[in-house]
């Protein structure tokens, strides 16, 4: 079976010369939820931006990034973007229409759906994120948490099979975080989530990948990986409190 996401030796250098990715390889199976961890500047966002071709891939014709077996390249960008929904780190980078309804409708409209279908998708997606009555609201007056949910609705309205989220719970309050996690849990898509929220990783992800300085430095089952305090500290992370009452051996039994 094709991997939902397959990245092979991906390298990326920004114009100013900073080497953000230095040969990243990873695979995510269909239906998996995988966390991407790593200190600030380790390349998480750069990696995520490659998954639907926002950053130009100037690599071999063979393609360093494949989605469901198809390489991300200029020729099939449209197909890739139907399959991959990317939620940016900063909602203000994603929202650009005056009202919530217009914003959430933008993606489905690009898919060439009829007006009635678009309307249906928008209503469904807004209900899914708990903002059913928000369609007429002005996007720039929303709270940060509401903006994040509108961004997610805009992506869900396109019904992607792969959902890519960049720090989805950063600067949400505890209730906002809890609600957002419950929401994510209900979405059946394959998920790749870059985050510093280790509770989210423990609760939602089966596997995690640690990036540091543009390289994958570790990967494995979440509990095993996050319990490795030495590894966590070496890469600017920490062993999450949520795991502290687990003895590692018991934890292994949980995941077995
Ligand atoms: P993370 O999301 O893990 O914090 P990023 O992917 O944003 O990491 O950044 C990886 C590296 O690339 C960092 O060294 C960062 O300074 C650099 N970088 C990120 N965006 C740009 C940009 N637009 N131009 C130049 N360098 C960038
Ligand atoms: Mg980032």
In short, whether 20's Cβ falls inside 6 Å of ligand 1 is: yes
Q: What angle do CA 147, 150, 155 make, to 5 degrees?
A: 130
The pair of three-digit structure tokens given for residue 168, joined into one six-digit string: 């989805």
What is the SS3 assignment for 19?
Answer: strand
Highest CATH level, class, for 5-94+162-251: alpha beta
The pair of three-digit structure tokens given for residue 66, joined into one six-digit string: 């494949």
pLDDT tens, the chain, 256 aa long: 899 999 999 999 998 989 999 999 999 999 999 999 999 999 999 999 999 888 765 544 446 899 999 998 888 888 998 999 999 999 999 999 999 999 999 999 999 899 999 999 999 999 999 999 999 999 999 999 899 999 999 999 999 999 999 999 998 889 889 999 999 999 999 999 999 999 999 999 999 999 999 999 999 999 999 999 999 999 999 988 888 765 555 544 444 4
CA distance 90 to 95: 9
Q: How far is CA 108 from the centre of its chain?
A: 19
**Domain residue spans of the chain:** 5-94+162-251
In short, whether 43's Cβ falls inside 6 Å of ligand 1 is: yes
CA distance 186 to 129: 10
In short, whether 186's Cβ falls inside 6 Å of ligand 1 is: no
Q: What angle do CA 101, 105, 109 make, to 5 degrees?
A: 155
Asked if residues 45 and 55 have their Cβ atoms less than 8 Å apart, the reply is no
Q: Tell me the helix, strand and coil percentages in the chain, rounded to 5.
A: 40, 25, 35
Closest CA relative to residue 35, chosen from 171, 237, 256: 237
Closest CA relative to residue 169, chosen from 136, 210, 138, 202: 202
Distance 171 CA to ligand 1 centre (A): 20
Protein residue whose Cα sits closest to atom 15 of ligand 1: 41
Closest CA relative to residue 202, chosen from 149, 148, 129, 254: 254
């Amino acid at each position: 079976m094709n991997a939902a996401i397959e990245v092979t030796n991906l390298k990326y250098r920004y114009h100013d010369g900073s080497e953000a990715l230095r040969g990243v390889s990873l695979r995510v199976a269909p239906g998996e939820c995988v966390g991407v961890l790593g200190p600030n500047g380790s390349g998480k966002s750069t990696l995520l931006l490659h998954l639907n071709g926002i950053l130009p891939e100037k690599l071999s014709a063979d393609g360093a990034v494949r989605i469901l077996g198809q390489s991300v390249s200029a020729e099939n960008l449209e197909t890739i973007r139907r399959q991959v929904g990317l939620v940016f780190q900063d909602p203000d980078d994603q929202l650009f229409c005056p009202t919530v309804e217009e914003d959430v409708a933008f993606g489905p409209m690009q898919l060439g759906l009829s007006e009635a279908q678009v309307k249906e998708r928008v209503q469904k997606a807004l209900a899914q994120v708990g903002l059913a009555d928000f369609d007429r609201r002005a996007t720039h007056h929303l709270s940060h948490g509401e903006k994040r949910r509108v961004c997610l609705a805009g992506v869900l309205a396109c019904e992607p099979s792969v959902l890519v989220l960049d720090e989805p719970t950063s600067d949400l309050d505890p209730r906002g975080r809890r609600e957002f996690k419950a929401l994510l849990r209900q979405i059946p898509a394959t998920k790749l989530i870059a985050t510093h929220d280790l509770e989210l990783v423990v609760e939602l992800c089966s596997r995690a990948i640690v990036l540091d300085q543009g390289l994958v430095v570790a990967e494995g089952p979440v509990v095993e990986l996050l319990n490795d305090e030495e590894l966590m500290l070496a890469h600017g992370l920490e062993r999450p409190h949520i795991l502290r009452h687990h003895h590692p051996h018991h934890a292994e039994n949980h995941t077995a």
